[in-house]
Amino acid sequence: SIGKGRSRTPPVVKTKELSLLASTLQQMDVDIKERQKEIVYNNTHDILTGLANRNASEQYLKSLLEKGQGTIIILNIKKFRLINDSIGYANGDLILKEIASRLTESLPNAVFKARLASDEFLLAAESDIFSLLTSLLPKLQEGISIDDSLVSVQINAGIYYLNNRSQTINDMLRCADIALTKAKRSADSYALYQQGQDENYQRQLHIIGIFEESMTNGSMYLQYQPKVNLGSGKCVQAEALLRWHDQELGFISPEEFIQLAELSGNIRTVTDWVIEEVIKQIIDWQDKGLSFRVSINISVDDLLDAQFRYKVRTLLEKYSVNPRYITFEITESVIMSDPELAMVSMEFFKDLGITISIDDFGTGYSSLSYLKKVPANELKIDKSFVIDFDNNEEDRLIVETAIDLAHSFGMKVVAEGVETESCLKQLTQLGCDLGQGYFYTKALSAADFEAWCKKFNDQAVMTD
């Protein structure tokens, strides 16, 4: 009995219960091991695509560093953010998974494949794999079926050959990324890293890093180049041109910073700022009794962004400015990057009352069918056809044809690159509506433009 050193009869455990307990413990052990495998897998693989992830990439690149040889290639889907905005993030994920699948199917096992981030993929190997790109890129760029539609993607590639044991993994990736940036800015879809590009890369990073502050500290500013009505001889319009003079870097050319703005995703912020500054300038002129229509250049990222349409409408409502005082200049290449979506945006802006101008006409996809469909009010002949206009019969014929063609579609015609009186007279004879160029003046600050226009228009009245 209890308290006298005696115990009760031990409990009887049934064999069935023991079997169930053993089975449960065994299943728990299996689940733990599976979970451990899952944790290890997730630590080295991208959950969405199943490719290796950045952790695994660093381990592989470390092995290449130890051997002192190898090739790494960074792939990037061009304007993927715009694709996401257009078709949605879920469909964007489907594109990423399809690209990953094509990489796996098209490349040998010896090639390391990973997704580094968002739309950036890594290929690496001990051997030279550059030659594989010739057949790989066309496969990756084949249309991808999304909701019964084919979505086309463009792929850029930056290639770097490892040849220095003292480098770090970050050095390798940075060199490949420099080459990728070069590929994005060139006509080719790929580029090799070359010695000496680091300094330029650091400059580009610096420029990208100071975009926003430059819009507020005055180093980024607008100038206005007159557009003259060839019939009346008066300045009635202007083109707003963005300029940048940085205290450290000096003058930064538009060719350089506009490309960097597009590559870095800053172009939308820049365009929003330009439009608001132009609207405020238009209002300032109107308060002084002056009336000018101002042209603004619109990029592909702006035109194809649905949010941009509503930002523009919001700005017009905020400042109560009449949309007819604004022109959007859009190049042919921008329109043709996605004709269907571009037409939707252009129709939207035209319905608002904004003038639509086809910029750099003659340098891209000019055709009758294209002009017939575009909801444009104005056609702007590229300066390359106008500058040598009075000495080149071929250029003259192109200009004459463009003017007749535009007028037949009810469009006004602007000729940019007017630099001589002879050129001006011939353009007038051909019925060109407006002229723009150094014959009149270079781009001016708002105050100088205002003074120039008053003097120029007064002279035109006296001449009449």
Mean pLDDT value of segment 398-417: 91
The answer on 235 and 289 residing in a single domain is yes
Which residue, 195, 230, 262, sits at the end of a domain? Answer: 195
Residue 1 has pLDDT above 50, yes or no: no
Residues 191 and 225 in one domain: no
CB of 211 within 8 A of CB of 266? yes
The model's pLDDT over 86-131, given as tens digits with 9 standing for 90+, comes to 788 889 999 999 999 999 999 999 999 999 988 999 999 999 998 8
Q: Name the nearest CA neighbour of 454 among 225, 235, 232, 227.
A: 235
Separation between Cα atoms, residue 213 and residue 70, nearest integer Å: 41
Same domain, yes or no, for 154 and 248? no
| CATH at residue 321 | 3.20.20.450
Taking alpha carbons only, the member of 67, 95, 71, 69 closest to residue 81 is 95
Chain-centroid distance, C-alpha 238: 26
Has residue 63 been placed in a domain? yes
Alpha helices in 288-380 (DSSP H): 300-303, 306-319, 332-337, 339-352, 368-373
Query: Do 406 and 306 share a structural domain?
Result: yes
Residue 170 has pLDDT above 60, yes or no: yes
- Strand 144-146 relative to strand 235-246, pairing: unpaired
What CATH number corresponds to the domain at position 111? 3.30.70.270
Question: Is residue 138 situated within a structural domain?
Answer: yes
The total number of structural domains that make up the chain: 2
Enclosing domain of residue 358: 218-463
Q: How confident is the model at residue 162, as a pLDDT?
A: 85
Q: Please say which residue of 195, 230, 258 terminates a domain.
A: 195
Per-residue pLDDT reduced to its tens digit, 18-74? 677 677 777 776 667 777 776 677 788 999 999 999 999 999 999 988 888 899 999
430 in a structural domain:
yes
* pLDDT single digits (tens) 314-372: 999 999 999 999 999 998 888 877 888 889 999 999 999 999 999 878 666 555 666 77
Are 148 and 239 in a shared domain?
no
Q: Are 175 and 243 in a shared domain? A: no
Structural domain contains residue 309:
yes
In this structure, is residue 298 part of a structural domain? yes
Beta bridge partners of 355: 327
- Same domain? For 428 and 299 the reply is yes
Q: Are residues 291 and 397 in the same domain?
A: yes
Check pLDDT > 80 for residue 10.
no
Q: What is the mean pLDDT of residues 252-266?
A: 88
Looking at the structure, do residues 159 and 231 belong to the same domain, yes or no?
no
Question: Confidence band (pLDDT; 50, 70, 90) for 464?
Answer: low
Q: Which residue has the tokens 């960074």?
A: 74
Query: Looking at the structure, do residues 249 and 375 belong to the same domain, yes or no?
Result: yes
Interstrand relation of 144-146 and 149-151 (parallel, antiparallel or unpaired): antiparallel
Does some domain include residue 330?
Answer: yes
Arithmetic mean of pLDDT over the chain = 87
Residue 429, token pair as written in the block:
């004879």
Statement to judge: residues 222 and 191 lie in one domain = no
For residue 20, being part of any structural domain is answered with no
Rounded-to-integer distance, Cα 152 and Cα 144, Å: 6
Whether 14 is covered by a domain: the verdict is no
Query: Are residue 174 and residue 249 in the same domain, yes or no?
Result: no
Residues in CB range of 66: below 8 A, 6 or more apart:
165
Of 151, 180, 195, the position where a domain reaches its end is 195
